[in-house]
Amino acid sequence: MTSTQRQTDFAVPDWVAKQIILAEGHRDEVALYEAYRWLRENNPLGIGYVDGFDPIYLVSKHADIMEIERQPQIFTNGGGDNPGSENPILTNIAGDEFTKSLTGGSLRILETLPYLDPPEHTQVRNIAADWFRPRNLEQWETRIRALAREAVDRLLQTDGELDFVQGFTKFYPLHVIMSLFGLPEADEPRMMSLSQDLFGTADPDAIREDIEPLSPAAAAQQWAAAVQDFYGYFDGLLQDRRANPRDDLATIIATARTEAGELYPPETAYGYFVAVATAGHDTTSATLATGIQALAENPALLQRIRSNLSLIPDWVNETLRWSSPVKHFMRTALEPYQLRGRSINVGDRLMLLYQSANRDADVFDDPDVFNIDRHPNKHIAFGYGPHLCIGMALAKQELRIMAEELLPKVESIELTGPAKVVQTTFVGGLKNLPVKITFAE
């Protein structure tokens, strides 16, 4: 099939393509989810054409994403046998060209798991895979619970009227991550700033002062600058743990060795640190805020969970489905492939829309209803296949513990203003959630 035929037969309406591909389209979640719905019902594997971007297959169905995710040998993250030739994160053409100008032609600007393909991905993932297993995380239960209680105790000292994101959820997951790394609490403001720099690349409220926000490559410029700032910060951690090993996650990463017995290059450790520090912080914060918003909008559900805390794991799972804080990853076809009756050609790019998949009516009854009674809840908020999020068990543990500590002390939650979301196509969620919490006596 010629490119002209594909454009005619597979193209989605401009409003759908722009709503999903452009970061500003994600400010309006009602319109965004309407665009996802239109795709699933009318053109679930349509091509989006937006000026400044490559043509992109918009993969909106749960089953299609799983089919792609389980075959990394066909759908590459980073380029397969040509590492760095593909970008696993949606960036416009200008942004990719800017990145290549910094790296000598590669799009692999960060040495971390989303940029890697097996077998390299498997080797690097195994550096800390055992540490992230649920059995090992049990030893951290007491420490994480102590951090949750400290956060709740501080909340109880207020009048309960606050922006729940800016005043609460941003800090608890960060405390946990810093504790797991053995980093000083005094460094938390810097870590917070770096994390917001990395994931706020397209949000006008989070753009760095040294970046021109209207330039076509602004998002890529901010991403690159944030990565370098992270590398500078984590170099001290790397050198310290190699010289003075401790019983912590940072030491496991810093002292890991290749199959040949050599220490991994510093960039591999930096990439691991960045991924854990940012994804482990931002995604958990966004999910927790969304779960609280759902309870504010459904007071009966709040009371039901308060009277039966064994329902909290179900609330966690449904909150993950509902929020899907990792909105997409990109894949590129290395071989011709037939998907949903369409011919995917070598080099075609595919945008895996996890938020859409987690509202797929073929998988979830009444998908636009927040319902903790879904059993099983087959959400793919953590991805699927070899790239399943390594921090999945830790994220669920943090969310469960916080809910166990917070909800018994909350009589009611009232929304006192409009919620706002981060303007991003990648990792994000609520950035403002004004609430009035009435504490239980």
> Cis omega (within 30 of 0) on the bond before 376?
yes
> How distant, in Å, are the alpha carbons of 94, 107, 138, 171, 215 from that of 51?
11, 20, 49, 38, 14
221: pLDDT strictly greater than 90: no
Domain formed by 3-439, architecture:
Orthogonal Bundle (1.10)
Residue 90, helix vs strand vs coil: coil
What percent of the chain lies above the pLDDT cut of 70?
94
Q: How many residues does the chain have?
A: 441
Cβ(228)–Cβ(234) under 8 Å?
no
In the 8-state DSSP scheme, what is residue 362? T
User: How many CB atoms within 10 Å of residue 372?
Assistant: 21
Give the angle subtended at the CA of 408 by the CAs of 143 and 314, to the nearest 5°.
Answer: 80
Rounded CA-CA distance 430/128 in Å is: 29
Quick: pLDDT tens for 393-408: 999 999 999 999 999 9
Quick: pLDDT tens for 348-362: 999 999 999 999 999
Q: How many CA atoms lie within 13 A of 281 on its CB side?
A: 28
Q: Side chain identity at 105, as an amino acid letter?
A: G
1: pLDDT strictly greater than 50: no
Give the ranges where 298-341 is alpha helix by DSSP (H): 299-306, 312-323
What percent of the chain lies above the pLDDT cut of 90?
77
Q: Side chain identity at 141, as an amino acid letter?
A: E
Q: Considering the entire predicted model, what is its pTM?
A: 0.93
- What is the average pLDDT across 139-151? 95
Cβ(192)–Cβ(174) under 8 Å?
yes
Q: Side chain identity at 139, as an amino acid letter?
A: Q
Residues in CB range of 388: below 8 A, 6 or more apart? 382
Distance of CA 227 to the CA centre of its chain: 16
Quick: pLDDT tens for 112-126: 999 999 999 999 999
176: pLDDT strictly greater than 80: yes
> How distant, in Å, are the alpha carbons of 7, 60, 200, 246 from that of 345?
14, 19, 33, 49
Q: Side chain identity at 268, as an amino acid letter?
A: T
Tokens 């196509």 map to which residue?
425
Quick: pLDDT tens for 291-321: 999 999 999 999 999 999 999 999 999 999 9
pLDDT value of residue 200: 59
> How distant, in Å, are the alpha carbons of 12, 17, 85 from that of 41?
12, 15, 33
Quick: pLDDT tens for 90-107: 999 999 998 999 899 999
pLDDT value of residue 278: 79
Q: How many CA atoms lie within 13 A of 350 on its CB side?
A: 29
pLDDT value of residue 277: 82
Please spell the DSSP secondary structure of 232-250, one letter per residue.
Answer: HHHHHHHHHHHHS--SSHH
- What is the average pLDDT across 251-272? 94
Task: Quickly state the pLDDT bin for 195 (edges 50, 70, 90).
Answer: confident
Rounded CA-CA distance 116/342 in Å is: 27
Task: Quickly state the pLDDT bin for 211 (edges 50, 70, 90).
Answer: low
Cβ(358)–Cβ(61) under 8 Å?
no
Find the Cα–Cα–Cα–Cα dihedral 202, 250, 405, 413, rounded to 10°.
-10
Task: Quickly state the pLDDT bin for 370 (edges 50, 70, 90).
Answer: very high
As a whole number, the mean pLDDT across the chain is 91
Task: Quickly state the pLDDT bin for 2 (edges 50, 70, 90).
Answer: very low
